[in-house]
Amino acid sequence: MGNKVKTNYKGKTYYYLEDFGKDNGIDSKTVKDRWFRGHRNPEKLLHSRKIPFKFKGFHKLTYNRTQFLSLIEFCRNYNLNYRKALDLWKKNIRDPQEIKTRAVIKDKKTVLASVKQSDISNIQKIVNKHGYLTSAQVAPQTGIQAIKIRDQITRMLAKQKNNMGVLASDIVEVNYSASERTLDTKNTEVLSKHAFKPSVVKHIKDRLSIVNKPSFKLVPFENDNYY
């Protein structure tokens, strides 16, 4: 059986495109091709004539009540692979949730390793010019891996608990200029939408000083997360 999806037609819910096509007299290959080019309307999936494909280069999209003026801005905000996202967009797949799911960066360490050192230095200079620090700069000052520090941004924005001492006020959205956004780098993740205030270093160190005390004990929650 093929990829699991969900579509409703004439009061019936289908979870596989093969079943949808078979029940409605359309070749499953045709249905799949239309689905993965972005068509979700059952009538279009079952259309007897060929559906013309026209690519429009407008990348505006809205997700979680936030409007993004470009696809690259959307990818930067959610740490997505821009090339994958653009490929989906060109295939007429415009649903933000689907892009977010299918354009995920599978191996962040590999992606970051492919960035030129000159690009990393330029990015740090740009962020520092705004008075903030990158996760790569916070890491050596606190002894915590940069990838774990970056994860705190995701956790805090999702309003999840963190055990590192980072405060919501430590995370800021960087207001990049147009020229800064055109930085010549293939890595769309590194020029992050958010950065850290210098105060984050003290807050992390304060937390570490408590955790490293001999008398400190980890108290488990019911879901096995630790406080």
Q: Residues 45-67: pLDDT tens digits?
A: 888 777 665 444 456 788 888 87
pLDDT level of residue 152 (50, 70, 90 thresholds): confident
At 160 the pLDDT is 72
Radius of gyration of the chain, Cα coordinates, nearest whole angstrom: 22
pTM reported for the whole predicted model: 0.45
Q: What sign results for the dihedral spanned by CA atoms 38, 39, 41, 45?
A: negative
At 155 the pLDDT is 77
Residue 19, Cβ neighbours under 10 Å: how many?
A: 15
- Mean pLDDT over all residues of the chain? 76
- Counting every residue, how long is the chain? 227
Pairing assessment for the beta strands 12-16 and 61-63 based on DSSP bridges: unpaired
At 135 the pLDDT is 87
Q: Residues 172-187: pLDDT tens digits?
A: 988 887 777 665 444 4
φ, ψ of residue 62 to 5 degrees: the values are -120, 130
Percent of residues, the chain, with pLDDT higher than 70: 74
Identity of the amino acid at 65: R
Summarize the confidence of residues 148-157 as an average pLDDT: 80
